Amino acid sequence: VTRWKNAVASAATQRELKQDVLYREAAQAFRRNGYHGTSLEDVARALGISKPTLYHYVKNKGDLLFQVHMAGAAQALSTVCHDRTLSGIERLRRTTAAYVRSMIDDESYSVIILEEKSLRPEQLAIVVRERDKFEAELLSMVRDGMRDGSIVPGEPRFALFNVLGAVNWVTKWHRPRGDWSIDEIGDGIATFVCRALSPVPNRFVSGNRLLAPPVPDTIRS
């Protein structure tokens, strides 16, 4: 194993880069083996460093889980499409596709949705607050879409919950090195969500084999 996976480039940003690699590696371990099934030794070994070295970057396993969750929340926010010239549903399409891709990327911090009960209550509260920011962005796209006519009428929060289910569920079923590419999956889930919410659903085709590939106009409704 190479030390720190060769991610260390410049002296100035070394610490940040190392933390970054550490969080990704830890996320992968937590995803694979769960919080209780992961030890700091495992993470240190995967990074090719000693456990004492690891302690320069993280206080303990609980702290590591917390930091990984915070990195995941920041990553989610970074996928938000802020282009206000676009309709609500188009911003939703771009954001869900990017968010899904970010969650299943090899480099993902992922959300580790299943391990939140291992966080301390005060840590969980902070993580939830961070994640709420992302959900609030999605909700505002849904509201805008209902206002601009690009999303069917309804309760915005109900639509949001359905969207979150479809997009977050990918962490439950996706296996790295499966048959479907990350782009196909992101595009396919965004298509699923937008078809469900659009008043003109057949405008949304995934452009790939996973869901609703483009079809001749004649069989469209």
Report the interface residues with its own copies, using CB under 8 A.
34, 36, 114, 117, 152-155, 158-159, 161-162, 164-170, 172-173, 180, 185, 188-189, 192-193, 195-203, 206, 209-213, 215, 219-221
In this structure, how many other beta carbons lie within 10 angstroms of the beta carbon of residue 78?
11
Place of tokens 């006519």: 149
For its own copies, which is the closer residue by CB, 92 or 193?
A: 193
For its own copies, which is the closer residue by CB, 1 or 173?
A: 173
Output the CA–CA distances (angstroms, integers) from residue 101 to 96, 124, 157, in the order listed.
8, 24, 23
In this structure, how many other beta carbons lie within 10 angstroms of the beta carbon of residue 79?
19
How near is the Cβ of 34 to its own copies at its closest, in Å? Answer: 5
How near is the Cβ of 166 to its own copies at its closest, in Å? Answer: 4
For its own copies, which is the closer residue by CB, 86 or 196?
A: 196
CA geometry: angle at 204 spanning 191 and 81, to 5°? 65
For its own copies, which is the closer residue by CB, 98 or 152?
A: 152
Output the CA–CA distances (angstroms, integers) from residue 173 to 15, 64, 75, in the order listed.
33, 24, 20
Structure tokens at 162: 């359905």
Write the burial class of residue 140 (CB in 10 Å: 0-12 exposed, 13-18 middle, 19+ buried): middle
How near is the Cβ of 103 to its own copies at its closest, in Å? Answer: 12
Structure tokens at 140: 């505002």
3-state secondary structure of 58: coil
For its own copies, which is the closer residue by CB, 43 or 167?
A: 167
How near is the Cβ of 29 to its own copies at its closest, in Å? Answer: 14
How near is the Cβ of 221 to its own copies at its closest, in Å? Answer: 4
For its own copies, which is the closer residue by CB, 5 or 143?
A: 143
How near is the Cβ of 161 to its own copies at its closest, in Å? Answer: 5
Structure tokens at 35: 């919080």
Report the C-alpha gap between 60 and 38 in whole angstroms.
Answer: 12
Report the C-alpha gap between 200 and 191 in whole angstroms.
Answer: 12
